[in-house]
Amino acid sequence: MLAPMPPGPAEYATLTTDDLVTGEAVALDLPAASIGSRIASGLIDMAVTFAAGIAAVLIIAAVAGNADDALLGAAFVVGLITVFLVVPTTVETLTRGKSLGKLALGLRAVRDDAGPITFQHAFVRALIGFVEIYAFTGVPAFFSALISGRGKRLGDHAAGTYVIRERYKLTLPYPAPMPPQLRAWAQTADIAPLPVPVALGARQFLGRVQQITPQARAALGLRLAEQIAPFVSPPPPPGTPPELYLAAVLVSRRDRDLARLRREEDLRRRLLRRS
């Protein structure tokens, strides 16, 4: 059986995986774009849209200049709908959440669960965006993004989306060392490859264990240990703290994967030399 780790000094709880969220912890998530980058991206999109709108008006005036007023008005309405609604919706749908401004700033619109957006999401964003950005000069969008934890404008709230930064430096915590008291057990235990979310959650948990409150620390450690247990046999010695158990499993799994990769590389080199 695994015993809870004794409480240690901590002030706050932080990172877990998406399915390892407590009242104090924060789900692993894609980083939301800052308000500054959203504004810069929006200004680029507005400039492009206004340029396209002016071009559309000039083309319609040149082509249908001699038409009656009703037909000319309908042509202008269709042109504006195309520029302000159809084109943005089509672009964000085809590019999975990118506009010209987002492409320039390294941003992307995604669903609230971080998945790619669909036509429905893009259409709602463009429809609400016409009102909050162009009709009201972006004031509702600015204040909505300002008070939202993810920088959401009204269109994002309506569509269930938010904008992320695609260009950011990925930092991973330094791998935990092998606990000496579990070295012998880990060398003989059968440890299968772990699911990526579980392995990533365990590694992040160990990397920030000193920053988590004792209650969240014990609960998350036990929960992660329970998720890893089906992939490990036999279980660790009775009374093993979850943190030491997680560290031993991750280190052993890492060493075995590295050894396998070295064997495969050696075999590949021998085969290439023979050929």
Return per-residue pLDDT of the chain as tens, 275 residues. Answer: 454 444 333 332 333 333 333 333 333 446 788 888 999 999 999 999 999 888 888 887 777 667 677 777 888 888 889 999 999 999 999 998 999 999 999 899 988 877 789 999 999 999 999 999 988 988 999 999 989 888 899 999 999 999 988 765 555 556 678 999 999 999 999 999 888 888 888 888 888 888 888 888 888 889 999 999 999 999 999 989 998 999 999 999 988 888 888 898 888 888 888 76
Contact (CB, 8 A) for 161 and 127: no
Reply yes or no: is the peptide bond before residue 234 cis, omega within 30 of 0. yes
In whole angstroms, give the CA distance from residue 138 to residue 122: 18
CA terminus-to-terminus distance, the chain: 53
Give the chain as a 3 state SS string.
CECCCCCCCCCCCCECCCCCCCCCCECCCCCECCHHHHHHHHHHHHHHHHHHHHHHHHHHHHHCCCCCHHHHHHHHHHHHHHHHHHHHHHHHHHCCCCCHHHHHHCEEEEECCCCECCHHHHHHHHHHHHHHHHHCCCHHHHHHHHHCCCCCCHHHHHHCEEEEECCCCCCCCCCCCCCHHHHHHHHHCEECCCCHHHHHHHHHHHHCHHHCCHHHHHHHHHHHHHHHHHHEECCCCCCECHHHHHHHHHHHHHHHHHHHHHHHHHHHHHHHHHC
Structure-block tokens of residue 34: 């800052």
Strand partners, 163: 109
Residue with tokens 């929960």: 223
pLDDT for the residue 48: 92
Q: Give the closest residue to 126 by CA, choosing from 163, 94, 83.
A: 83
Residue with the two structure tokens 């800052």 = 34
Spatial contact of 252 and 191, defined as CB atoms under 8 Å apart: yes
pLDDT score of 170: 52
What integer pLDDT is reported at residue 159 of this predicted model? Answer: 92
37, 105 Cβ separation under 8 angstroms: yes
Q: What angle do CA 54, 56, 58 make, to 5 degrees?
A: 70
Closest CA to 216 of 3, 14, 2: 14
Distance of CA 69 to the CA centre of its chain: 50
